[in-house]
Amino acid sequence: MSGGLLVAGTTSDAGKSVVTAGICRWLVRQGVKVAPFKAQNMSLNSFVTREGAEIGRAQAMQAQAARVEPTALMNPVLLKPGSDRSSQVVLMGRPVGEMSARGYHGGRQEALLGTVVDCLEQLRGTYDAVICEGAGSPAEINLRRTDIVNMGIARAARFPVVVVGDIDRGGVFASFFGTTALLDAEDQSLIAGYLVNKFRGDVSLLEPGLEMLRGITGRQTYGVLPFAHGLGIDEEDGLRPAFKNSTALRGAVRESVVAPPHGDDVLRVAVCAVPLMSNFTDVDALAAEPGVVVRFVDRAEELADADLVIVPGTRGTVNALAWLRERGLADALVRRAAEGRPVLGICGGFQILGEHIEDDVESRAGRIDGLGLLPVHIRFDREKTLARPAGEALGAPVEGYEIHHGVADVRGGEPFLDGCRVGAVWGTHWHGSLESDEFRRRFLTEAARAAGRRFVPAPDTGFAALREEQLDRLGDLIEEHADTDALLRLIESGAPSGLPFIAPGAPGARA
């Protein structure tokens, strides 16, 4: 086998990431050597590969589903939003500069098609199959000319396309039809069919609609995936914090296992929902602990009953600091520290907790005062630090990854990973450290003690094993609810011949 498939979607957040991961896990369980691929990803959730390249966390998760090591080839272009109009462009795992949306779509994106096709071909030369994930919708007709992630890559590779629709949102039949009908004839010839996601109820009631859809489009539906609770896998921006203000996150609770606390108390964790929050997946390992409740907050009073407050990473450290001050959260954090109540700063959050920040790179704000909770001076460097550190902290082995422009000059406190600790305030640039089980247990034990809580971490929670279980659940969804024989034929042989053209097609296009 030397084939592939593009998983597109009727909208953003239709389920492309999880479906791609599910297909990868199903295939690898069949003995197929498979790799994920996303030509261009827009996300503030990123990961560092063993080679020191920055890619989207969704592709790292999909690589784990495929049981292969993630590489830059799997996500050659990553866009990290700095505002609703500009992003940092990361090419082959390294930042190459900031660019406005108009500048990127005005020519730079189209010029990258050769690069992404070359990456895809390298993967095809190594793996039996490559499962590609699209972005947004392939029917974004204003962007089709420069598209390199949806029909642009499908046409270049001659890959068949399955379009995923989220039926929980409603309007899935119109979305499937409209997505197809807005493409030109050549693009439509690659749209093999559809896959319904997040269905609740009796599938037999849906089947007449699927038959009617086939009658008007000439394309089959390759499966109806049921709504699955608590998947908890790494998506692009599962909480949508990139462009929405934090009000949209108020009270949002990170999905966690339904299990009572191991000790007498629960442990309440409040995560400050700072603007341009990045790598909020850092708290997933906490949410996986029985008795730990993780919620996102944006008001000072919401910190009052928190046992641990986390200031997470952000793509805009100086702006996030200003936001914390405007909302009274900064003063609340200072009071907590004075009272000996636990605070953890991660990456940008660590920088905020320091004494001052010199930033002539990201915000160009120059020197500003931090919260002064840790004896740390931060200087932003034009070169981005991308690393996979490992070591020991709190008497336990720990691993993580670093993605930051800020360079920390630690001038006191107790050593803590690459940062420091003062009382019940901890700071580090390391993402992912809480995924190290014994380190996480010891950290939570110290945080609970400082908070006066009789919380005891469960001795047997293994985050890596839980993640594997979630990926197996995705593979099960595909195996049990999709037409896997038909999907395998698509991957091996491409889109069926003779698929009908659906009018009107792309504006100005003809059948």
**Active site residue ranges:** 347, 431
Q: How far apart are CA 290 and CA 308, in angstroms?
A: 16
154: number of Cβ within 10 Å: 24
What stretches of 92-160 adopt beta strand conformation (E)?
Answer: 94-100, 129-133
The secondary element (H helix, E strand) that includes residue 151 is: helix 151-157
DSSP string, 371-396: --SSSEEEEEEEEEEEE--EEEETTE
Q: How far apart are CA 360 and CA 380, in angstroms?
A: 7
Overall residue count recorded for the chain in this entry: 511
Q: How far apart are CA 412 and CA 406, in angstroms?
A: 18
CB within 8 A of 510, min separation 6: which ones?
A: 185
Q: How far apart are CA 372 and CA 392, in angstroms?
A: 26
Q: How far apart are CA 346 and CA 419, in angstroms?
A: 10
The secondary element (H helix, E strand) that includes residue 366 is: strand 366-369
Helix, strand and coil content of the chain, in percent to the nearest 5, comes to: 35, 30, 35
3-state SS, one letter per residue, for 308-343: EEEECEECCHHHHHHHHHHCCHHHHHHHHHHCCCCE
| CA 139 to each of CA 8, 25, 142, 490: distance values in angstroms, whole numbers, following the listed order | 10, 28, 9, 21
In degrees rounded to 5, what are phi and psi of residue 326? -60, -35
| Nearest of 272, 355, 254, 266 to residue 309 by alpha carbon | 272
| CA 149 to each of CA 8, 103, 156, 346, 393: distance values in angstroms, whole numbers, following the listed order | 9, 17, 10, 32, 41
What are the helix (H) ranges across 165-280? 172-181, 185-188, 203-217
* Buried-exposed string 76-109: b where 16+ CB fall within 10 A, e elsewhere: bbbbbbbbeebbbbbbbbebeeebeeeebbeebb
Q: How far apart are CA 189 and CA 152, in angstroms?
A: 13
| Nearest of 265, 267, 433 to residue 349 by alpha carbon | 433
95 contacts 89 by C-beta, under 8 angstroms: yes
